[in-house]
Structure 1
Amino acid sequence: MDEISTSTLLILLGVLILMSAYFSSSETGMMSINRYRLKHMVNRGHSGARRVHRLLKRPDRLIGLILIGNNLVNIAASAIATVIGIRLFGDIGIAIATFALTLIILIFAEVTPKTLAALYPEKISFPSSFILLPLLTVLYPLVFLVNGITNGMLALFRINPKDGDGHSLSQEELRTVVHEAGAMIPKKHQDMLVGILDLEKVTAEDIMIPRNEIVAIDVNDDWKDIQKQLIHSQHTRVLLYRDTIDDAVGFIHVRDALKLLAKDDFCKASLIRGVRDIYFTPESTPLHTLLFNFQSAKERIGLVVDEYGDIQGLVTLEDILEEIVGDFTTSILPLHNKDVSVENDNGVLVDGSSNIRDLNRDMNWNFPTEGPKTLNGLILEHFEAIPSSALCCRIAGYPMEIMELNENMVKTVKVWPHLYRQDTSLNNTEGESH
């Protein structure tokens, strides 16, 4: 070492610091790279991505290789810096060299390269893999020895590095990834992806058309009334029943009725013969299961039944698709919920039978969806009794006033969403009469 000039040692020290910076940036870049984007690039045949993917298959070996190289160059740099310090400053040069080298390595070989690698992991990792792969082959015996010792120590804590698989995403994590995609995925597409993820949480009961709103025809009515209802029906499939919906006969397609009319065989008996079998589904069926059931059974519509077999509502394929892509509407108005009317005083008149999920989606409100399905049910649950009109309350942070009652149910409610307070201590507070 005494025979090497100080200038040569300084150059060698600079090279070692650059090598230390390389190993530090490689470590951060490899560990920071997006594994899902990496897999996508591997599938597209990107050579750099393939090399990095090969290295990351055993991260313990990769980390062992990088740390071996990093520690070797840092120790060598420390020895050279000590020699240079002694030559320039005597015995005190050891302390000066230690302090100066620590500062230099911290700035130029640790913080700066690691920050750069964290910001641009692909630009660092892909070129770095050119060196790391052959270096791993050369130093494999040493890497194997170090990994064997460290894995043995991990085994004492019952940790196996081969078992670590932190690259599978849960539904909530995938939802976060979708939301964090930002401009890379349009907002509408984000909503659709999240809607697909939510199908497992939503049941048939949540989206069904309630029993009292089902458009159906009583086959025991006068034939002229039946004809009139068929002619003016807004739906292509109409439910036929006898006296009550619980005695459902089946669905008649308007197209089949027109065929009967064309054959001059349009009568009540032929209409009943032409009905299609009813598909029944429990009210607790998750939407993703119901969608698969519709697909396998070649159905587009079904009746929802409770645990006692009583008909509770009707659900269609369109209802499921609307949970994914949003409402199918030709309205150009941003507010197209037929159950909502905005007043001049910033209040909103809402029909008590409005579905809470639809209100939350259309109005961007935050009513709870765990319990009752309609606003009327939410208010009745809040008061635990049938309230009187002109009664005010705050539910889930929204002040509201009961405007109209009809047959023991809340018919119309006025909500002031601009006074909404997201305060859990105010949620579900007691109502007060005015």
Structure 2
Amino acid sequence: MNEIPLGLLFTLLGLLIVISAFFSSSETSMMALNRYRLRHQAKSGHRGARRAADLLSRPDKLIGVILIGNNLVNILASVLAGAVFTHLYGDAGVFYATGVLTIVILIFAEVTPKTIAALHPEKVAFPASIILRPLLWLLAPAVWLVGSISNGLARLVGVEAGEESEAEHLAPEELRTVVFESGALLPSKHKGMLLNVLDLDQATVEDIMIPRNEVVGIDLEASGEAILQQLAESSYTRLPVFQGDINRVVGILHLRRAIQILRNGPEDFDPDQLKPYTDEPYFVPEATPLPTLLMNFQHRKRRMGLVVDEYGEVMGIVTLEDLLEEIVGDFTTSPVPGEEDEIVEQENGWYLVEGGTSIREINRTLHWELPTDGPKTFNGLAMEHLENIPDGNISFFILNYRVEIVEMSDKMITRARVKQMDRQASPQS
């Protein structure tokens, strides 16, 4: 190489450094691409995304062509650098070439291009795919040879190059993190709905049902006058119809169908006339997961189910509205005009809570973290914590939540004031 001008050698050396930087940035940018965003762009017709997705379909071949090219360039650069510095400094030039070339490659062919590629993977990977595709075809024999050897070694440790990576799929908790950290890309309301959908698997029918003591229904053993008044004043569209006790349920009555019964006037009304107009009751085990309940409602075209325990006793009812509220939040209108809110905000961070309010409802409304793995209502949680029925209006802590009983009945806490306290200031429960 002594006959080649130094200027040309330096030019060739600089060109090799640029090519090395290309391969380094290509590798980093390809591996840093968001696979889900890439698939969306490819399906939308983006050419660069399609090329990159095609290259990434076999990452072993992609990495093979990049590393073959990068190593060839770096080896050739080291040969040229050795020749240049030997020409300038004699035998000591080899040591100078090693030190200078190491620094130059690290800065200009490794760290800098890889940093840029990691920060802007799409801007680097999509143009780079134009060159990598023909290179993959051109270097196919070398890529096949290297790939065969490396894949064989990978099989020795139980890795198959062609198998789909676990990183291609997101676990529910990982998907929850993606939604939670989406920032301004998703409106907060939509983000909350998506998170609620992901949380459905963690709840059962028992968590959202209306308890038996709060169920409003039609007792056929009541007087005709009382039933007619109940039909006229009911704020619910569907009512369970039973014979004396809700465990002896006859069916579900839609009030629109009840109008047909009253055409002949209230004088001729007989409670048994309601039976032919009722729909067959749909029974739901209390341990049914909410996603299963939603699919069953959709499949059976139902909007209400009677919740039963393991002994077949009716524990309450669950409606499609209760289920939808788990996803979209509470509806703005109350089904019963004048009904008192279960959670009422007061001064200084206090809230007045009805004893029968579900723990999930409190947590969802106030963004609290009361335990949900035990009792389902606030009264049940307080009773479990106290381990008895309190004699009067007492004050106590559940975790970092201060509770002051406001109203008691013989069997339960009917109303209490609750406030979330500082964790450091609250006593241990």
TM-score by length of 1: 0.93
Residue 374 of structure 2 is matched in structure 1 by: 371
From the superposition, tell whether residues 63 and 345 of structure 1 become closer, same or farther in structure 2 (CA, over 3 Å).
Answer: closer
Match for residue 339 of structure 1 among 327, 335, 342: 342
SS at match of 2:306: strand
Q: Partners of 2:306 and 2:263 in 1: how far apart?
A: 30
Q: In the alignment, does 2:158 pair up with 1:184? A: no
The structural deviation recorded for 1:413 is 1.7
Alignment of structure 1 residues 171-320 onto 2, 5 Å: 171-264=172-265, 266-320=269-323
Q: Partners of 1:421 and 1:91 in 2: how far apart?
A: 72
Q: Is the 8 A contact 1:388 1:402 kept in 2?
A: no
Residue 423 of structure 2 is matched in structure 1 by: 421
From the superposition, tell whether residues 422 and 312 of structure 1 become closer, same or farther in structure 2 (CA, over 3 Å).
Answer: farther
SS at match of 1:288: helix
Matched letter for residue 238 of structure 2: R
From the superposition, tell whether residues 57 and 422 of structure 1 become closer, same or farther in structure 2 (CA, over 3 Å).
Answer: farther
SS at match of 2:284: strand
Q: Is the 8 A contact 1:16 1:73 kept in 2?
A: yes
Residue 112 of structure 2 is matched in structure 1 by: 112
The structural deviation recorded for 1:392 is 2.5
SS at match of 1:408: coil
The structural deviation recorded for 1:43 is 1.3
Q: Partners of 1:286 and 1:151 in 2: how far apart?
A: 44
Q: Partners of 2:179 and 2:402 in 1: how far apart?
A: 33
Q: In the alignment, does 2:125 pair up with 1:125? A: yes
Match for residue 356 of structure 1 among 351, 355, 359: 359
Encode CA deviations 1:185-216: one digit per residue, 9 max, x unaligned: 21111111222222222111111111111111
Residue 25 of structure 1 is matched in structure 2 by: 25
Q: Is the 8 A contact 1:171 1:197 kept in 2?
A: yes
Q: In the alignment, does 2:383 pair up with 1:380? A: yes
Encode CA deviations 1:225-271: one digit per residue, 9 max, x unaligned: 11111111110111222222112222211111112223446431212
Number of equivalences: 422
Encode CA deviations 1:91-145: one digit per residue, 9 max, x unaligned: 3332222222111111111111111111111111111111111111111110111
Encode CA deviations 1:410-434: one digit per residue, 9 max, x unaligned: 12222122x14279x955x1xxxxx
The structural deviation recorded for 1:330 is 4.6
Residue 158 of structure 1 is matched in structure 2 by: 158
Q: Is the 8 A contact 2:344 2:352 kept in 1?
A: yes
Matched letter for residue 230 of structure 1: L
Q: Is the 8 A contact 2:239 2:252 kept in 1?
A: yes
Q: Partners of 2:169 and 2:244 in 1: how far apart?
A: 54
Residue 396 of structure 1 is matched in structure 2 by: 399
From the superposition, tell whether residues 62 and 391 of structure 1 become closer, same or farther in structure 2 (CA, over 3 Å).
Answer: same
Matched letter for residue 157 of structure 1: V
Q: Is the 8 A contact 2:297 2:320 kept in 1?
A: yes
Matched letter for residue 259 of structure 2: L
Structure 1's unaligned 5+ residue stretches are: 430-434
Matched letter for residue 153 of structure 2: M
Residue 100 of structure 2 is matched in structure 1 by: 100
Q: Partners of 2:258 and 2:155 in 1: how far apart?
A: 74
SS at match of 2:413: strand
SS at match of 2:126: helix
Q: Is the 8 A contact 2:210 2:318 kept in 1?
A: yes
Q: Partners of 1:307 and 1:298 in 2: how far apart?
A: 25
Residue 432 of structure 1 is matched in structure 2 by: none
Matched letter for residue 162 of structure 1: G
Encode CA deviations 1:22-63: one digit per residue, 9 max, x unaligned: 000100111010111111112122221111111111101110
Matched letter for residue 300 of structure 1: R
The structural deviation recorded for 1:383 is 2.0
The structural deviation recorded for 1:281 is 0.6
Q: Is the 8 A contact 1:352 1:376 kept in 2?
A: yes
Encode CA deviations 1:73-96: one digit per residue, 9 max, x unaligned: 111111212222223333333222
Q: Is the 8 A contact 1:353 1:375 kept in 2?
A: yes
TM-score by length of 2: 0.94
Match for residue 413 of structure 2 among 398, 410, 433: 410
Encode CA deviations 1:389-423: one digit per residue, 9 max, x unaligned: 33322213212222322122112222122x14279
Q: Partners of 1:137 and 1:263 in 2: how far apart?
A: 86
Q: Partners of 2:200 and 2:139 in 1: how far apart?
A: 51
Q: Is the 8 A contact 1:204 1:282 kept in 2?
A: yes
Structure 2's unaligned 5+ residue stretches are: none
Percentage identity across aligned positions? 51
Residue 139 of structure 2 is matched in structure 1 by: 139
The structural deviation recorded for 1:345 is 4.0
Matched letter for residue 253 of structure 1: H
Encode CA deviations 1:300-331: one digit per residue, 9 max, x unaligned: 11100000000111111111111111111159
Name which of structure 1's ranges 316-325 and 191-200 shifts more when overlaid on structure 2: 191-200
